[in-house]
A and B are shown apart, each in its own frame.
Chain A
Amino acid sequence: MSAEALFCAELSKIKRHLIIKSVQRAVLDASLILLSIWAVLLFIERLEFKILSDNTFRYGISIGISLLAALLIAVVRRKNLQNILIDIDSRLKFQDRLSTAYEYQHSGKKSDLLAFLLEDAAQHLHQLQAKHMAPTKFSVAHLALVFLLVLNVALYSSDFWGPGSRQTVVNQEQIEKARTLLRNYTQSRIGDKQAKKKSSGNAVYTRQLERLTNRLNDPDLNQDMLSVSFNALLKELHSEQARLADELNAKLNTLGIEGVPVQPIPEPGKLSSQKIEKLKALLKSALNNQIPDSLNQDIETLQEFYSLQELLSQIIDDLKVDDSNSDEYALSQTHQTRMSQQANGGKKPPGDEQRHETHGKISDRKQGRAGTTGSPASDQSLDDGSDDLDGSGLHDENDLSAGHAKSVQRKKSRDEIEKSTGPGLQDKLSSAQEEKYRLYIRSLGTVGESILKEENIIQAYRQEIENILQKEDIPLNYREYIKHYFISIGLKTEAEAYDAK
């Protein structure tokens, strides 16, 4: 065998080894990229952003990207054999034998000593072991691979062993049943509404329920989407309640009826204490967006909830049906109330207080949040949350029971301005605590028609405001807010206010 053939044979060994090394490196790069992508996806999913819902598609895409990127990196990082031989020469102190021999053999340069050089290089290559050709070093890439592996395992295992995942696997059947129940429920509700459609003419509510049913009939509906649908349904119920209450309130205000007794709840006494407790739990959990908790219940419990939910819907329907009759009923009730007040020398009838208390309880049940104790203070503090839920931001317990008796403080401020002829404005503050300081304001009437002097009205307003602002429990920023509000409507400056006084 000639020196050149011997050298080429030895070189081919190096080439084979380098190809294996390149493939190993590409696999390492691909693994790094793949694990990075998976870690990012898992992390994003933990933040509840859904990028790719289909697992097969997601894994296919990520593996494809990783392999493509690793291939590109391998192509970019590709070294020619000459540089590899130079590296071997310098590492193994071969004094540039291999690189010089390869260059002369590869480029066809002539030299009298070339044959001896090739033979010499081949001998050195023959002594070379595979581990010396391209030694594997524990590099940063290996360290990163270990780190990413641990990170992925941690993210995946926490996801797998987490309560959500376990319950998803175990309660898949229950979720399906709940979905069926919910679908049947909404369909029955739509059927009821369509039956009443001709009489009530409330097409908007029916359309909303139809849309909800269509969403529930979607075969691709997963757990998250199911939760969203539950939330949407509850929002619809809540907003419908609020809307009916608003309508009733507006009609009562138009008729000038101040106090209307709350429509008694249909046969609440017949509810067993166990059902009342369950109703409480349902309302606390379901109306407070605790749908996943509700889903964790047994299917029997869900069926009971379903019956209770039907009861709730009947209550809402009754409120809606009674909406048309509320005018006559409110007039008669106002008359009765005024008569009883005159007879009691301005005192409220005991039944009124009881009614108010009862209504408060019911409205608390309607708008209360899970985790609260049910006390009036805690229920009030949760009103802001319910406003966010239904999106209106203005409905509170008084809105739902429009026309019931107002507080003494409100009545007092109202008496002072009741002779004014301008349109009424109600300053509603979203905070439950500020509700205690609700003011009724009337705009200025037409010049010459006013019974009270403007100065008197302003003075009365000012006193009221000062009293309120003196309260220590009003936060500073609210004080400024209130002050600026009243300055903007008439009390322009402090100096002017004093001048007017």
Chain B
Amino acid sequence: MTPNEKTDAIRKNFELVINELSKIIVGQELVTKHLFICLLCGGHVLIEGVPGLGKTLIVRSLSKILDLAYSRIQFTPDLMPADILGTNIVKEDGKGSRYFEFYKGPIFGQLILADEINRASPKTQSALLEAMQEEKITVFGTEYVLEPPFMVLATQNPIEMEGTYPLPEAQIDRFFFKLKISYPGHQELHEIITKTTEDYQPDLKRVIGADSILEMKSLVKQVPIATHVKDHAIRLVLASHPDNSDATGLIKEYVLFGASPRGVQSMILAGKVSALIDGRYNVSIEDINEVAKPALRHRIALNIRGETEGIDVDHVVEEILSHVQPK
């Protein structure tokens, strides 16, 4: 497959995925686009939204469209790491001798739905760390490589605080994007009601296989990006730090610490996929700005004042985008 064919394939696959998802998901085009970007970048997604907005439905629908091994983990407070990773169990052969056999947990899939991830204890949450970062796990000293493409889609409820364990910063940083699902509008609600309360049985097709995804992933890193575009992404990240000279008054007042270098990586990689989806062979500043919110919003931590005053991190990112103009 030539690079040009790969580029065309990306555009076509994207359109296929969006078309298939639109059979189930009403609206949320940006969320679905970002999900696709994450898939090609090899990142993991944290989806945040109040109950009933279709977080789990999006992921389940995506698993049906993509020809990938899907597993779902419902996070509860009593969930243990072994429940996710798997464990050694004692087995007995025909001769009566016993041995340990590793029983793979749900992490051994390709598309993992970590539903309500903030309900599990930090110990269990951290069981995902190695898998998300290195796409392998270690159990009793034995490493197990996860099958690519590996993607974790975690959901969490932002308003329900009782019995939840906020994700540690280290784990949050490992999510490529944090997507927010917004309330549907009037027309969208009409469509949702029609699709869910009538006899509507959409038939979702598997449009992309693992091999296609891996081929597209290999092309993403080849997309050229100019130095001044990289500089712009770097300046965006640096401006999120309250002690930086480019930081605005809002950031200095309400931000505890800014985005990590993973923020820049996320923006540039996502920008490359965004350019390919757009039919271009280079990353533009517009691409970077488009993916800045999902790439930075979970990497900027507000201080206690920002938390108590209810400052929205998206507002902080918008402030950064308006302040940092391309040179």
Contact = CB atoms under 8 A, between A and B. Distances in A.
A114 to B, nearest CB: 6
A115 to B, nearest CB: 8
Contact of A86 (B7, B228, B281): B228
A120 B226 contact: no
Contacts of B208: none
A162 B226 CA distance: 64
B326 interface: yes
A97 B280 contact: yes
Most-contacted residue by chain B among A89, A90, A113 (CB, 10 A): A113
A101 B287 CA distance: 16
Interface in A181-216: none
Contacts, number: 59
B283 A113 contact: no
A95 interface: yes
B222 A111 contact: yes
Main secondary structure of the interface of A (DSSP, over half): helix
A268 B7 CA distance: 118
A229 interface: no
Nearest to A83: B228
A109 interface: yes
Contacts of B281: 113-114, 116-117, 120
Contacts of A116: 3-4, 7, 281
B219 A117 contact: no
A368 to B, nearest CB: 77
Interface in B225-284: 225-229, 278, 280-284
A101 B283 CA distance: 11
Chain B binding site: helix, strand, loop or mixed by DSSP? mixed
Contacts of A86: 226, 228
Nearest to B228: A86
Given A111-B222, A112-B219, A113-B223, A120 B280 contact: yes
A100 B229 contact: yes
A109 B284 contact: no
Nearest to B279: A120
B285 interface: yes
A100 B3 CA distance: 18
B159 to A, nearest CB: 39
Contact of A96 (B4, B7, B222, B226): B226
A100 B219 contact: no
Contacts of B282: 95-97, 100-101, 117
A487 to B, nearest CB: 73
B224 interface: yes
Listed residue (B222, B228, B280, B282) with the most chain A CB atoms within 10 angstroms of its CB: B282
B130 interface: no
Contacts of A90: 326
A95 B286 contact: yes
Given A100-B226, A113-B219, 5 more contacts: A86-B228, A96-B228, A99-B228, A100-B282, A117-B224
28 contacts: A86-B226, A86-B228, A95-B280, A95-B287, A96-B226, A96-B229, A96-B282, A97-B280, A97-B284, A100-B225, A100-B229, A100-B283, A103-B226, A103-B227, A109-B224, A111-B224, A112-B222, A113-B3, A113-B7, A113-B222, A113-B223, A114-B281, A116-B3, A116-B281, A117-B224, A117-B281, A117-B282, A120-B281
